[in-house]
Amino acid sequence: MKKQSCCPKGDSRESKIIVEKQSIKQSNEVRFPEQLVKIPAGKFLMGTNDKESFVGDGEGPVRTIKMKHFYIDQTTVTNKQFATFVKETNYITEAEQYGWSYVFHLLAPQKIRKAADRPIQTPWWLAIPHTYWRNPEGPGSTITKRMHHPVVHISWNDAQAYATWAGKRLPTEAEWEYAARGGLTQKKYPWGDELTPDGKHMCNIWQGTFPTENTLKDGYIGTAPAQSFPANGYGLYNVAGNVWEWCHDWFSPQHDNNQTTNPLGPTKGESKVMRGGSYLCHYSYCNRYRVAARTSNTRDSSSGNIGFRCVADFNPLDKE
């Protein structure tokens, strides 16, 4: 099994352009509380020893983790929600400040594909000027008909700023996996071990020959609406495929055996954990839509397949 990633890796953009670090105050109000679902306290088996796992990514070993209860968004943050954040704070994303972001080549306008810069290791990504969350495929593109799709071209720093404004936070990697498993034990996917049970597509991933032909058998070449495909056992949507989701943790392929209760991950690192895979993942290349799969990117990185969801320690709508 190949261990390459379909995602563009960070290229230390911070060293080339200094972006404005915007101050967002922690909100005392939990925004969009109706989207939060409660994940009960308990224990789960984190990671995998499956033969399909990427050992170098630190997917294993399987370990028992004890979790407190918490609340997590049913879906990734949508364009509509992010637009509310920007309207209230005048926040400018890092992709906007850098002046470009990565667009998958089949989604980019034909006239600019040949001229765009491409990373050597992932040439299907095009660095297109003036690309950001509101113009996801570059100048002339729009989210007008995608307000309920996940917001993309979001860096970890952007996601952190939104979470602060929303009175929430980014999930720890353990919280993300615990919630994504939906109460199942050591299953490959959030719904079980079969990718398409009874021939039914359960997530938005690449169909066909990556990266040149997508048959669209699951209905999408790019993002799907944030609330699409069946929810998992806890009511979460699209925790496999669609867009990668930022986590709180620094990335390391090694795990601290002493962190067995509500682990926070390493205290420092060079990149942040991303979970869930995206619409570009495919068994032949980046088989990371499995629930235990993981990857990482630098905090300032953005592309057309990276988004996030938030968690909270309480829900003001909870009647318990």
Report yes or no: 113 and 124 within 8 Å, Cβ to Cβ: no
Q: Is residue 18 in a domain?
A: no
Structure tokens of 64?
């028992």
Residue pair 40/69 in contact (Cβ under 8 Å)? The answer is yes
Tens digit of pLDDT at every position of the chain (320 positions): 445 667 777 654 544 567 788 989 899 999 999 999 999 999 999 999 999 999 999 999 999 999 999 999 999 999 999 999 999 999 999 999 999 999 999 999 988 888 899 999 899 999 999 999 999 999 999 999 999 999 999 999 999 999 999 999 999 999 999 999 999 999 999 999 999 999 999 999 999 999 999 999 999 999 999 999 999 999 999 999 999 999 999 999 999 999 999 999 999 999 999 999 999 999 888 999 999 999 999 999 999 999 999 999 999 999 75
83 phi, psi to nearest 5 deg: -65, -35
- The pLDDT score that the predictor gives to residue 320 is 55
What gap in Å lies between CA 309 and CA 93, rounded to an integer?
17
Residue 24 maps to a domain = no
| d(C-alpha 54, C-alpha 29), whole Å | 40
1 domain residue, yes or no: yes
Number of domains, the chain: 1
Whole-model pTM: value is 0.95
Tell me if 16 is assigned to some domain: no
Strands, DSSP E only, in 194-297? 208-209, 213-214, 244-250, 272-275, 294-297
Tell me whether residue 17 is in a domain.
Answer: no
Cα distances from 143 to residues 93, 161, 223, in angstroms, run 16, 21, 11
Residue 28 in any domain: the answer is no
Bridging pattern class, strands 306-307 and 244-250? parallel
Q: What share of the chain is helix, strand, coil (3-state, %, to 5)?
A: 15, 20, 65
Q: Residue 118, CB half-sphere, CA atoms under 13 Å: how many? A: 13
Q: Within a domain: residue 22?
A: no
User: Which long-range CB contacts under 8 A does 80-87 form with residues at least 24 apart?
Assistant: 80/147, 80/148, 81/31, 81/32, 81/151, 82/133, 82/151, 82/154, 82/162, 83/134, 83/147, 84/31, 85/162, 85/165, 85/166
What is the CATH number for 46? 3.90.1580.10
Q: Which domain holds residue 177?
A: 1-11+34-320
CB of 297 within 8 A of CB of 272? yes
Residue 185, token pair as written in the block? 């034990």
Asked whether residue 53 is domain-assigned, the answer is yes
